[in-house]
Amino acid sequence: MPPEKLHWAHLFREVVTSGLCTGCAGCVVACPYDVLGYDDRSWRPFHVDADGGAEDCTHGVRGCTLCTRACPRFGDWEPEVDRHVHGRTRAEDEPAGPWREVSLVRAADPELVAAGQDGGAVTALLVWALESGLVDAALLSYVEGDGTSWKAVPGVARTRADVLAAAGSRYTYSANTLAYADAIAAGAERVALVGMSCQASVPPVMAARKAGKVARRLTLSIGLLCSKTFDDAIFPDLFEARYGIPRASIAKINIKGRFQIWTRDGGYHEVPLKEGHAWTREGCLACPDFAAEHADLSTGGIGAFEDWTLVVVRTARGAEALEGALAAGALERRPVEDDPGVLDLLARLSRASRRRWPEGPPQAPRHFLAPPRAAASR
C-alpha cells in the first residue's frame, strides 16, 4: 500500500491540539485553498470551512498535504530540517545547533543603533538588504495602532522608514509569516522573514518537504534567540496591576535576565523575569529551540555587551547577507572572543530549552517523542 498522505486532520490532532503548536502560521500561509484561518488570541490555526468538524478538510481527504509539509513541529521535523539546512543532524554536543561562524555585530548608523534593539544589527541588515535589492520586502512585527497598545501584529517592510517603524522587540507574539500575502500582492518575489525560532524554521521546513513556491520566495530567514514569548495579558495583569506601569506609557522593553521597561516620561523600571512565567504562551512550553537553529542568521542580545548583537551564521545565504552588509559599511563587527562568556551562555540557554521537548508517554503521537540525537562529526 502507498504511504498515508498526512493532511489537516493529522496536523490538527498531533500539533494544533497537543500543545506543540507554536502559532507560527506556516500552515496558514502554505494552504493553497485559503481554508485555514488564524486566531491571534489563542495563536492557533483553524479550518474556516469545517462543516464536518474541526478536523475536517475535504482538500486533505483528496490528497492535499501542504499544511503538514509547512509545519515546523510536525513529524520528524528536526532531523529533516537539520539535514536540509546543515547537511547533517545536530550532534549531542551542539545544543545551539551547527554554525559556520559567530561574531558580535551592530549597526554603523547611529540612528539605527538608537532605534533598534541591542545595537540595531537586524535593523541595519534589513535596511541594507532592501536598499541593495537582496530582498524586495521583509516580514516583521509592528505595534498595532498608535504604538501604545503594545499588541504585536505582522506587517511588511519595503523601505528604511518601514524597518525603523518596526524596530525594537515586543516579547508578545506576532505571526510575521501572515504578512506574506500582502508582500506578494505588492509584487515581492524575494522576501526576508524575521521571527522567533519557530517562524525561522518555516522556510527551511517548507523547502525540505518541497512545499511549493512559498518556500522559494522566502529567501532570507533571520531568527531571534528566544526562550519564550508572553500573552498580551502580561501588560494589565503584571506590569500595570503589580508595578503601576500602564501599557500606554511604555516606550521600550528589553529582557536581560529581567524585564527592562522604559516609559515615555523618561522613567525606567525593572521587573523580575520569573514573575512573568505565568503569562508564558502555551506554544513556548514545549519549544526546544532557543537558538533559532534553522535560520540563515540567528541573532540575539545576550552576553556582556548590551549594544551589540550576537550573530550566528548558519548558511551560505546568511554569510552572503552578513558579509554584504559589512562590506557596504552598514554593519560593524567585533570578534566573539571579546565576550568570553557569551558562547557558554548560548549553550546553557539552548540546553534549557532542549529539556522542554516532551519525551511523551508511549501512546503519544509519533513525532511527540524527543528528536533523535545523531552523533555526527563536525
* 310-319 tens-digit pLDDT: 999 999 999 9
Question: Which amino acid type is present at position 186?
Answer: A
Query: CB within 8 A of 264, min separation 6: which ones?
Result: 249, 250, 251
Domain assignment present for residue 29? The answer is yes
- What CATH number has the domain bearing residue 58? 3.30.70.20
Q: What percent of the chain has pLDDT over 90?
A: 81
Confidence (pLDDT) at 368: 34
Q: At residue 249, does pLDDT exceed 60?
A: yes
Domain assignment present for residue 363? The answer is no
Query: CB within 8 A of 2, min separation 6: which ones?
Result: none
Q: What is the pLDDT of residues 1-34, one digit of tens each?
A: 456 789 999 999 999 999 999 999 999 999 999 9
Confidence (pLDDT) at 51: 63
Expressed as residue numbers, the domain containing 51 is 8-91
Confidence (pLDDT) at 257: 86
* CA–CA separation, 166 and 164 (whole Å): 5
Residue 268 burial (CB count, 10 A): 10
Rounded mean pLDDT, 341-359: 92
- What CATH number has the domain bearing residue 246? 3.10.450
Question: Which amino acid type is present at position 299?
Answer: T
Q: Which helix (H) or strand (E) holds 138?
A: strand 137-143
Among residues 91, 107, 123, which one ends one of the domains?
Answer: 91
Please tell me the total count of domains within the chain: 2
Among residues 257, 279, 301, which one ends one of the domains?
Answer: 279
Which range among 49-58, 97-106, 198-207, 349-358 shows the weakest confidence by mean pLDDT? Answer: 49-58
Q: At residue 378, does pLDDT exceed 70?
A: no
Domain assignment present for residue 58? The answer is yes
- Please report which confidence band the pLDDT of residue 213 belongs to, taking 50, 70 and 90 as the band edges: confident
Domain assignment present for residue 157? The answer is no
Domain assignment present for residue 354? The answer is no
- Please report which confidence band the pLDDT of residue 374 belongs to, taking 50, 70 and 90 as the band edges: very low
Average pLDDT, the chain: 91
Q: At residue 366, does pLDDT exceed 90?
A: no
Cell reading at 91: 550532534
* CA–CA separation, 91 and 99 (whole Å): 12
Domain assignment present for residue 310? The answer is no
Confidence (pLDDT) at 357: 86
Domain assignment present for residue 111? The answer is no
Q: At residue 270, does pLDDT exceed 50?
A: yes
Among residues 91, 114, 139, which one ends one of the domains?
Answer: 91
Domain assignment present for residue 65? The answer is yes
